Amino acid sequence: MEYLYNALAIAALVFGFGFVVFFHELGHFVAAKWVGIRVEQFAIGFGHAVACWRKGMGFMWGSSAKRVEELLKAHILAKRERELQPREHVGFTPEEMTAAAAALGVGETEYRINWIPLGGYVKMLGQDDLNPAATSDDPRSYNRKSVGARMTVVSAGVIMNVILAALLFMGVFIIGHKVSPAMVGAVWTNSPAQLGGMDVGDRVLQFDGRDEHSFTGLMLDIALVREAKSVPVKVQRPVYANGKFGGYETKELEVHPVRPSDDSAAFYAIGIQAIADLRGADIKLKDLGDLKLDRATDIFPGDRITAVNGTMVKPEDYPVFAEALQRSSGKPVELTVIDRQGKKHLVKAAVQFQRFFGDTPFNMAGLEPQPVVAGFPLESPVKDKLQRGDVICAMFINGEKKEYPSVEEVSNLTSDAADRKLKVDFQVERDGKRETIPGTVPNLKIDKGKRGVGIQIELSTGRPVVADVIAGSAAAHAGIPRGALITSVNDVEVKNWFDVHRLLKSAANSSATITYVELDDAGHPKSQTAKTVKLEMSKEERETLARIRYTHDPMLLLPERIESRRTHNPLLAAKWGVIETRDMLRQFYVTLRRLFQGRVSASNFMGPVGILHAGSIFAFRGWDWLIWFLAMISANLAVVNFLPIPIVDGGLFLFLIIEKVSGRPLSPRMQTVAQIVGLAIILSVFLLVTYQDIRRLIL
């Protein structure tokens, strides 16, 4: 049944693409008929015809053009014989051909499907994109019509795509569009969202003056913010008292979006995640692969969380859980769970550190915890070697040892080994003992053009062993080395990183005393003599310690919250559809402008292969997402088609503007050169985006 659904989804996607193209060409066709232009072909796809239909001829394989021409000429010759016309009169005028077609009841337009299913066209008499000199003296030809009439025909396809997008969006809102709401589920430490006062549970009503209805739309508006400046954010915040919901309050905030990396082409971000529900993810246990769930610490599919630390909750009360995490001091949060069979269980949800926003690695006054294996995909080359919870203590590549690698170094070293086609040996700490895992080939695709082993890495919260020290930090100035085991902070014994965080955060006068021992290759103290140093923390480091947030283990499988944006009022649905179309057009134009400004990378764009791949993903998510995706494609097609590039509608419209202003059209030679340049641009872009699509999917 699942295979049948997937096949239907793909078939619907292909049909939907064809329908979007059909609607665009229908605009040209209807406009041409309206202004009195003879349309010779209405085609979906390019190349030779696979099949066609023509009034008076019916359906046939291939093209009907030759057969129609022979039929009309035979009719004209027979008529001449009857009228005893001279034999030397052998030409066939357009008027004769038109009269013959009318007499035989043969339509002038061939409706055809061509064998290359990319795009389509309307072939009008006296108009040829690749041959501007191909004019006609027929009064019904394209070139004989006024500039205004031709502008109507050229722009009609784009207008129809905009109309189709609005209609499709309207349909989505009538059947119900299931989306993740514009709600905050996590706030990254030191992120613009945290600095701006946003909190878990906030529903974003407006961002920079625009209404927000989905998390996807919110992230897009954030990514395309005009400049690096503070923007107003209006949120609706739930109020809880002793864990009980007490209504909402509206807050007006200001957030300053920034790029999370030094890449000038990166999109803006504010450091938030979508909100989850307090229940088990809708996933089959067999799809989890080697990830073994533990009833004592994990949420199973079908589970429903009914209490957090004894406080009764509903699935939508995720903020209660988030607040319990912040108050946990690193201790597991107790969840009361009802499974599919109605049995009650107690789950001890592990607490993790929330990562820092941007490129700055997580640290406490410069101290970085060790990386821990949180999970890996089924196809990972380490799935039978590493285990969830393994602490990575060292890596060996081509005989070179890297002791106590940081989270970032694990990723970089495995990617470098993949580029050099070298094996990686991991030394991990498992159940209190160190083991070496030899011979791993990092051949798994993990990103665009990047390979590795696919490990999902988290930060160690247990034994406080330092993986790395941030240069220029208080820890670096104090001389704390990699591999140091912190034993006490301000003369208070510490057993884990939560203890370290708590004591550093509460240290008075911006200074703290750190006692540590160095470890040998087996993870044991090299000497019984501990070293004591003093940390002199900067104001920024103190503020960061205060901002550090806790989150739950990412392997605690909670699903993203889904809400249906739906209305039974067709007028309201139409209004929403128009607004969604307007926003989609604006976003695409803004993206193109940022591309030309060098503020958005061309690698973010997709070609036919990428669109088909993305469309298949949307199709599997449900009919509402498939229709939404096709509406987006229709809106984007309108933008692309109206760019001032020769060969597309926008370029043709530009030629008509020049003709209107100058009083005469560009010379056929100038038009031909422009068309060739436009075709070269289109083909270059097509090859570039297709290469990027294939690279993303295969390399």
Q: What does 274-301 look like in DSSP terms, one character per residue?
A: E-B-SB--S--GGGGTT----TTT-PPT
Residue at 125: amino acid letter = L
Contacts of 229 (CB under 8 A, 6+ apart): 256
- Coil, strand or helix: which one is 413? helix
- pLDDT on residue 204: 97
Question: In this predicted structure, what is the pLDDT of residue 161?
Answer: 94
**Residue 288 pLDDT grade (very low, low, confident, very high; cuts 50, 70, 90):** low
Residue 254, φ and ψ in degrees, nearest 5? -130, 130
Query: How deeply is 238 buried, as exposed, middle or buried, from its count of CB atoms within 10 A (0-12, 13-18, 19+)?
Result: buried
362 contact partners, CB below 8 Å, separation of at least 6: 189, 353, 355, 356, 368, 369, 407, 459
DSSP 144: G
The residue written with tokens 């030809």 in the block is 141
pLDDT at residue 228 is higher than 80:
no
Q: What is the pLDDT of residues 376-398, one digit of tens each?
A: 777 788 888 888 889 999 999 98
pLDDT at residue 374, rounded to an integer: 84
Does an H or E element contain 250, and which? strand 244-255
- Beta-bridge partner residues of 54: 58
Residue 379's pLDDT is 79
Coil vs helix vs strand at 19: helix
Q: Of 65-79, 146-160, 505-519, 604-618, give the range with the top mean pLDDT.
A: 146-160
Query: Residue 499: which of 331, 310, 344 has the closest Cα?
Result: 331
Buried b / exposed e along 505-531 (16+ C-beta atoms within 10 A): bebeeeebbbbbbbbeeebeeeeeeeb
Structure-derived torsion over alpha carbons of residues 427, 430, 432, 435, reported in degrees to the nearest 10: -40
Over pLDDT 70: what percentage of the chain?
Answer: 92
pLDDT of residue 354: 92
Q: Does residue 604 have a pLDDT over 90?
A: no
Residue 458 in 3-state DSSP? strand
The answer on pLDDT for 291 being more than 80 is no
Q: What is the pLDDT of residue 593?
A: 78
Which pLDDT score, from 0 to 100, does residue 596 have?
Answer: 76
Closest CA to 175 of 634, 623, 633: 623
Domains of the chain in start order, with CATH, are 11-37+125-176+569-699 (no CATH), 40-122 (no CATH), 285-353 (2.30.42), 371-459 (2.30.42.10), 466-548 (2.30.42.10)
Query: Looking at residues 536-552, what average pLDDT do you find?
Result: 94
Phi, psi of 277 (to 5 degrees): -110, 155
Q: What is the mean pLDDT of residues 418-444?
A: 87
What are the tens digits of pLDDT across the range 309-367? Answer: 999 999 999 999 999 999 999 999 999 999 989 999 999 999 999 999 988 899 999 99
Cα separation, 329 vs 550, in Å, equals: 9
In which band, very low, low, confident or very high, does the pLDDT at 668 lie, cut at 50, 70 and 90? confident
Q: Which long-range contacts link 521-525 to residues 24+ away (Cβ below 8 Å)?
A: 521/434, 522/434, 523/393, 523/429, 523/433, 523/434, 525/485
According to DSSP, the β-strands at 433-440 and 531-536 are unpaired
Q: Which of 105-119, 435-449, 464-478, 607-621 has the lowest mean pLDDT?
A: 607-621
Q: How many helices (H) does the chain have, and how many strands (E)?
A: 16, 31
Beta strands in 460-510 (DSSP E): 466-469, 484-489, 492-493
pLDDT averaged over every residue in the chain: 87
Q: Quick one: average pLDDT of 208-217?
A: 91
As given in the structure block, the two tokens for residue 36 are: 């009195």
User: What's residue 431's pLDDT?
Assistant: 87
Residue 626's contacts (CB-CB under 8 Å, 6 or more residues apart) are 9, 12, 13, 16, 615, 618, 619
- Assign 296 a pLDDT band (cuts: 50, 70, 90): confident
Give CA–CA dist 126/40, Å, rounded. 10
pLDDT attached to residue 382: 84
Cα-Cα-Cα-Cα dihedral of 123, 128, 133, 138, to 10°?
Answer: 10
Q: How confident is the model at residue 599 (pLDDT cuts 50, 70, 90)?
A: low
Mean pLDDT of 135-155: 88
pLDDT at site 619? 75
Tell me what pLDDT residue 36 has.
92
Choice among 114-118, 430-434, 489-493 with the minimum mean pLDDT: 114-118
Q: How crowded is residue 156: how many other Cβ atoms within 10 Å of its Cβ?
A: 23
* Residues whose CB falls within 8 Å of the CB of residue 475, separated by 6 or more in sequence, listed in order: 363, 365, 366, 367, 466, 469, 514, 535
Q: Which two tokens stand for residue 333?
A: 């949060």
HSE-up of residue 245 (Cα within 13 Å, Cβ side)? 14
Q: How many CB atoms lie within 10 A of CB 438?
A: 11
Q: Is the pLDDT of residue 176 over 80?
A: yes
What number of CA atoms fall less than 13 Å from residue 33's CA on the CB side? 12
Do 634 and 23 touch, CB atoms closer than 8 A? yes
> Has this prediction a pTM greater than 0.75?
yes
Give CA–CA dist 280/299, Å, rounded.
Answer: 6
Q: Residues 36, 153: contact at Cβ < 8 Å?
A: no
Judge whether residue 79 has pLDDT over 90. no
Residue 692, pLDDT > 80, answer no
pLDDT score recorded for residue 264:
60
pLDDT score of 252 more than 60? yes
Is pLDDT above 70 for 38? yes
What's the pLDDT band for 267 if we cut at 50, 70, 90? Answer: confident
Query: Rounded to an integer, what distance in angstroms lies between the CA atom of residue 620 and that of residue 590?
Result: 29
CA distance linking residue 549 with residue 184, whole number of Å: 14
Structure tokens at 255: 């957030």
CB atoms within 10 A of CB 243: 17
| DSSP code for 460 | -
Residue 37's pLDDT is what? 93
Query: DSSP letters along 299-367, please?
Result: PPTT-EEEEETTEE--TT-HHHHHHHHHTSTTPPEEEEEE-TTS-EEEEEE-EEEPPBSTTPPP-BTTE
